[in-house]
Amino acid sequence: MSDRSRLAALERSIQHASNYQEYVDACLAHDALSGAAEWKAKDICRDYDYRLIRKRVQRIKLSRSRGDIHGLMSILHEGLHGNLGNISNPTLNHQAKIGTKTLIEEFIDQVCASLDAIYEADEKEVDFYEKLSFFEETAHAFGRSCLMLSGGAGLGFFHAGVVKSLVEHDALPEVISGASAGSIIASLIGTRTDDELRESLAPESIYEKFSHWKIWQGFGRNSLLDATNLENALIELFDLMTFEEAYKKTGRHITVTVSPSDLHQFSRLLNAKTSPNAVITQAVRASCAIPLVFAPVQLKAKTASGDIVPYIPNRRFVDGSLMADMPFQRLARLYGVNHSIVSQTNPLAVPFLSRDKKHSNGIGAITWRHITNLAKVNSIYAFDMMESLVSNKGAKLGIHKIRSVIDQQYVGDINILPARGFGNVKHIFSNPSEKSITKLVNNAERASWSKLDNIKRSTRISKTLRCYLKRLKEREARILSGHRGPGLELVS
């Protein structure tokens, strides 16, 4: 059999792998045969600063061999960030079926081993508060990743498969946002432990809750669909839990986005920082309120005595994806996020998005990007002009919403999208069957496989930093509370 035939056979194995390990094995075999494994082994490449990374690895190894903890701290302090030497260049993720330059992976290994060494260092050499200060400063400077789950109506159950895959491979970020259908899955993440989450994301569980989310009630009403079944499902899932209560249970920072139903208001991000006492059920219900399809929603909050009261009285909110499908900039301000993983099912965006993020520098690619940006800017200008000229409040609001849809960014650093096809359309406004949900979840898991290696690599340092910072913070809390005992010993 020729090499070409064997590569074609391996590509079929990749496409039809029954589990992630089979997928990885087929990818590695393909890389070995195609020459990609040789590419990974060679440091030299114009797509990143291999000299800088190689020098940094050498310095870290030297300090580790000498047991020089302060030297390691100095090296990491002086320039550790997620794209040092352009190692996060998307081009580096498309030369092989799986993995990237061995030098980059070695750099990440050495950084994480250094963090292990600093955390475990004898406190006669590096005292507790010096460690705490180091991890606080370094974690803040390095930043972290977020997972953003888009709108998509019934197609949004695709997110369940993406999250299921991330949980199973210990790759789920602690910062998660959800808009519209994505808000349901984001809230499941924030209100459940990993074991509970696996159970809630099972297709049979999703079908049981949302098998009849769509009830047609016709024209001439305040909405085309009756939200009774959707509301009952959300109440059963989240009850009266608030964002603060959810964070205390799971330690995950979940955000639900909602859009205003009137003019002169902006989209809101509801989470434990901005709205700790807001009730998750009503936030999700509002985020799912597609204009005309579902009626606008009044948010609710829980008082200290447990009473449920209106939140932001006299205001109603609708579908979060209209104005804040991917609220990356605001998540960055709130949580120090500087890297994003996106599960995108928004029917307004998916047909036009590339499955892979690449930075081509060819003349054609640069010209196309410029033309696309010009078209977007000109469209926004046109809608701004129309909004200023129209006096009717309803028309002005409609124009403003369309402008918001055009003005948004729908992709992140790593993007997981459903396969293109007319079959996706039927999921959007249809009541699902258990079979259709199972197929959607399985397809989402498969779609995540090609991204998992990159996700793990991109999040490993930040997860290590925040793991040790969390342990040190917990230890500090015990020290300050005066409870001494075995818990005060160094946690390894």
Catalytic residues: 180, 319
> How many Cβ atoms from other residues are within 10 Å of residue 134's Cβ?
24
Distant-in-sequence, close-in-space partners of 125: CB < 8 Å, separation ≥ 6: 69, 70
DSSP count for the chain of H helices, then E strands:
20, 11
What is d(CA 135, CA 462) in angstroms, rounded to the nearest whole number? 10
In contact, 152 and 158? CB cutoff 8 Å: yes
Tell me the CA distances in angstroms from 293 to 157, 160, 178, 222, one per residue in order.
Answer: 18, 23, 19, 9
Taking Cα atoms as reference points, which of 263, 295, 292, 298 lies closest to residue 401?
263
Q: Which amino acid is at 54?
A: R
**Do strands 308-310 and 300-302 pair parallel, antiparallel, or not at all (unpaired)?**
antiparallel
Residue holding tokens 């200060």? 133
Q: Which amino acid is at 249?
A: K
The span from the first CA to the last CA of the chain, in angstroms, equals: 52
User: Three-state SS string across 219-250, please?
Assistant: CCCCCCEECHHHHHHHHHHHCCCEHHHHHHHH
Rg of the chain in Å (alpha carbons): 24
φ, ψ dihedrals at 326, nearest 5°: -130, 85
Q: Which amino acid is at 317?
A: F
What is d(CA 56, CA 363) in angstroms, rounded to the nearest whole number? 34
In contact, 300 and 333? CB cutoff 8 Å: no
In contact, 480 and 197? CB cutoff 8 Å: no
